[in-house]
Amino acid sequence: MTAVEPTQFPEKFPPLLFTLALADRILLHVPALTKEVAESAATVDLFDAPVLQLLGGAVGPEELRKVFQGTRLETAPAETLDLPKLRETVGAWVAEPKVGPVRVRIDHAFPVKGVGAVVLGVVRQGTVRAHDRLRAYPEDREVEVRSIQVHDVEVREAGTGERVGLALKGVEAEELSRGQTLAPDGSLTVATEVTCGDWRTCRFYRGKPSAGQSLHALFGLQFVPTRLEALEGSTVRLRADRPVAFAPGDPVHLADLSATSGPRIVGRASANPP
């Protein structure tokens, strides 16, 4: 099991997005109804992973349901924080397997003497195996998986939800970075202009999303400056400032880092092929 915490939030907003994008399950700690908790809740509402709310002594379940009315948190499980019980609960969790071409989201890359380029990431779909030949999206670069480690133990393969360390052949560490996705060639779309459907505005966002607005978009772990070209009903057209990789139906989250009040999350949509 791997726990991820956005330690630089709320001073910085992207760490919260990265944490949620890596998560198979979400623990939302609510010690009190603070500004930080409100922004966390507004953002969690637009992600799909199951949520368990952990309450402090200052907040009760009924009060929580009232505050989060109209969001998926209104009906999400809420329990008083009890560490022994929480350990038992979390220990029983497993990641749901996702069938399809393997996808590994990279969040860190570095060189290791005698090994070469090593990346850390999470398998978000399928199974990665030693000697797989994959593309480091969105770049047009093929790499080979030399070896795989899960929690410092060498394995031959790793499935959905596993935190992995991959030694790669055919690439230098400085050519890899957070946001890239390892996947079979041809399995993802690469584009700068993306049309999305199923648009949903964050009900707590205090601005008004509109054509011409400069925002940031999260595709997997790719967080890029993006222009909102058009918003018509449930359809939104985006222009990213650099190529992004995605598959049809992937969630796209928009953020307004210049917002001075209210949550910085603007909304979410589902990516469609260009």
Residue 36 has pLDDT above 80, yes or no: yes
Nearest CA-CA partner of 139 in 183, 169, 109: 183
Check residue 228 and give its pLDDT. 97
- Compute the distance between CA of residue 30 and CA of residue 212 in angstroms, rounded to an integer: 36
Q: Per residue in 140-149, pLDDT tens?
A: 999 999 999 9
Check residue 274 and give its pLDDT. 62
Check residue 77 and give its pLDDT. 93
What is the chain's mean pLDDT, rounded?
A: 94
- Compute the distance between CA of residue 53 and CA of residue 68 in angstroms, rounded to an integer: 12
Record the tokens describing residue 38, joined without a space.
Answer: 């409100």
The alpha carbon of 272 is separated from its chain's Cα centroid by a whole number of angstroms, namely 18
As a whole number, mean pLDDT of residues 200-225 equals 96
CA distances from 264 to 12, 14, 35, 235, 253 (A): 10, 10, 12, 21, 11
- Compute the distance between CA of residue 168 and CA of residue 149 in angstroms, rounded to an integer: 12
Q: Per residue in 96-129, pLDDT tens?
A: 889 999 999 999 999 999 899 999 999 999 999 9
Check residue 136 and give its pLDDT. 97
Residue 63 has pLDDT above 90, yes or no: no
Find out whether 82 and 52 touch, Cβ atoms under 8 Å: no
As a whole number, mean pLDDT of residues 221-248 equals 96
Helix (H, G, I), strand (E, B) or coil at 227: strand
Q: Pairing state of beta strands 214-219 and 251-255?
A: antiparallel
- What percentage of the chain has pLDDT greater than the value 70? 99
- Compute the distance between CA of residue 157 and CA of residue 128 in angstroms, rounded to an integer: 5
Residue 40 has pLDDT above 70, yes or no: yes
Check residue 1 and give its pLDDT. 86
CATH class held by domain 189-271 = mainly beta
Domain 103-183 has CATH 2.40.30.10: yes
Check residue 95 and give its pLDDT. 87
Nearest CA-CA partner of 103 in 186, 1, 193, 171: 186
As a whole number, mean pLDDT of residues 144-168 equals 96
Record the tokens describing residue 127, joined without a space.
Answer: 């199974």
Find out whether 182 and 146 touch, Cβ atoms under 8 Å: no
Given pLDDT bands bounded at 50, 70 and 90, which one contains residue 73?
very high
Find out whether 196 and 235 touch, Cβ atoms under 8 Å: yes
